[in-house]
Amino acid sequence: MKNNPKGYVSFVLHAHLPFVHHPESENYLEEEWLFEAISETYIPLLMNFKKLEEEKVDFRITMSLTPPLLSMLDSSLLQKRYIKYLNKHIELCEKEVVRTADNQRLNELSKYYLDRYTSDLHIFKDVYNCNIIQGFKHFQDIGVLEIITCRSNTSDIFLFYMLMKKQLKHKLQFGVQTYEKYFGRKPRGIWLPECGYVPEADKYLREFGIEYVITESHGILYANPVPVYGTFAPIVSDGGVIAFGRDLESSRQVWSSVCGYPGDYNYREFYRDIGYEADYDYIKPYITYDGVRVNTGIKYNRITGKTEDKDLYNVRWAMNSAEKQAGHFFDSREAQIDHLSNFMDTTPIVLCPYDAELFGHWWYEGPYWLYILFKKIYYDKCDFKLITPSEFIDKYPEMQKSTPCRSSWGANGYSEVWLNELNDYAVRHLHNCADKMVELANTFANETDELKISALNQCVRELLLAQSSDWNFIITNGTMVDYAKRRTKDHVGRFTKLYNQLKSGNIDKEFLEDISEKDKIFPDIDYKIYM
């Protein structure tokens, strides 16, 4: 191993999904966002971490697990529905094995998917007892995974500060409390919503013991004063918060739609699925959403090229491509760090932040690529090591004083995705509800009636869910727009109805119980934080 490396590489995966929880009906396609992510991203990551542990490969990776995601993973209802989802997929795979018996290549793939979903069921039920949060906690506890927090389910931090800055402290507290509940320690770092940053947040971050944030590249490059080493060294703001910036070159190799690894022709084609291609009468029993064709996760084609004539997927070819590209990424970081070390008076760090769901869900082979890459870094001769941001801070505590600029990721880098002519109509309603929540907290500061306290706490939940940046993001992207608009409208409506009931002193207990079961998030929430 490398005792005195020339530099470091730090992977940060941001794991987040919008809170989708509908006990009133099983006919919500959006709940499958979680189920797909568990099968295609979270379980594969855990299994590859487990292989590295068993092979005694010392690796490092950082992940943020957001409060909404943790709440869904901890939901007994969603756990049961995930098991039902798996059983349905196993049944479909068994039928596929029979249907494809006369085509050897297809039949091998159908058996492959049958094995995958059967394995997922075993891992989820028998290995993790339906609680994969404990799986991530295990790797945190043995020191190879640093888990960082994220502020509670709310809007982009730049918009949030500008529009509702008096509540910023509340959202940070929810995020930190949720983290401590599940992981038994205080977080050192945070992934602010949408990788956003505003300098005004520093005093609240430090108040809750947050030492560092992850920022977009331009947040560092346009910092004040301009950092000497760009994104290749962290900086510390006047408020005492350390910022690590995204490396452009390594991001391009993974993210780019033109030259990124996930576009390799041997990889699985995401947009071809038997849910859309199988005979309708055959697939209909496995499409529970009003007979509308949806993804099943059973995808038989590889990318092949820019053509509609897609070849069949070959697992071995895909693995070969992942292994080659792990080698390419390894060589690129070696050359990059070797070059940087000639011009820097401090040890460079290359920060590689990505959406966790890229690995497995969108890029099916991504978790395997990480596994191969981490093994290469451990065993092969090179001049860099993997490190977490916290380890880097402990090892190199001296850094330039400079404050990052306001920034976010997403198109154009300054929150445009979350506030534009398509979604700005919601802002005045969110602002109004936020002011009313502060009013309620102060009006009922000494409340002892349990029903009113329950209503006040549910008001907070409805406010947080209404403020979710996911809805504006979905509206901007033009996918599931009706659902996103309905979620904003529903939560604002529920909040407003509860507010009026509290003000009138006439709480509808049946209504409160109904929405409390639907919007079952943050069970330990306390409305008094808004005082």
Per the DSSP assignment, residues forming a β-bridge with 9 are 350, 386
At 377, the amino acid letter reads: I
Question: DSSP labels for 262-277?
Answer: GG-TTSBPTT--HHHH
* Residue of 478, 485, 482, 465 whose CA lies nearest to 424: 485
Per the DSSP assignment, residues forming a β-bridge with 126 are none
According to the model, what pLDDT value does residue 1 have? 44
For the chain, what is the largest distance between any 2 Cα atoms, rounded to a whole number of angstroms?
73
* Residue of 293, 316, 318 whose CA lies nearest to 303: 318
* Dist. CA 491–CA 518, nearest whole Å: 11
Per the DSSP assignment, residues forming a β-bridge with 70 are none
* Dist. CA 84–CA 316, nearest whole Å: 30
Per the DSSP assignment, residues forming a β-bridge with 147 are 63
C-beta of residue 373 within 8 angstroms of C-beta of residue 329: yes
Sign of the torsion angle spanned by Cα atoms 122, 125, 131, 137 = negative
According to the model, what pLDDT value does residue 157 have? 47
Where b means 16+ CB within 10 Å and e means fewer, 425-459 reads ebbebbeebbebbeebbeebeebeeeebebbbbbb
Rounded to the nearest 10°, the torsion over CA 60, 375, 270, 80 is -60
C-beta of residue 17 within 8 angstroms of C-beta of residue 82: no
Nearest-5° Cα angle at 117, 113 to 123 = 140
According to the model, what pLDDT value does residue 155 have? 52
Sign of the torsion angle spanned by Cα atoms 190, 192, 195, 198 = negative
At 287, the amino acid letter reads: I
* Dist. CA 298–CA 95, nearest whole Å: 12
At 353, the amino acid letter reads: P
The pair of three-digit structure tokens given for residue 149, joined into one six-digit string: 């927090």
Ordered mean pLDDT values, 10 residues apiece, the chain (531 residues): 83 95 89 96 98 98 95 96 97 98 97 98 98 97 96 53 57 85 95 86 90 96 96 97 96 86 96 94 84 90 95 98 98 97 96 96 97 97 96 97 89 76 84 92 96 97 90 85 93 98 96 96 89 82
According to the model, what pLDDT value does residue 259 have? 86
Question: DSSP labels for 303-320?
Answer: --SSSS-PPBP-HHHHHH
Phi-psi region of 11 (alpha: psi -120 to 50; beta: other; left: phi over 0): beta
* Dist. CA 239–CA 402, nearest whole Å: 10
Domains and CATH numbers, the chain: 7-65+148-268+313-412 (3.20.110.10), 420-530 (1.20.1430.10)
Half-sphere exposure of 428 (CA within 13 A, CB side): 1
Residues 6+ apart with CB under 8 A from 514: none
Place of tokens 């945070």: 190
The DSSP bridge pattern shows strands 235-236 and 242-245 to be antiparallel
Quick count: other Cβ atoms within 10 Å of Cβ 331? 13
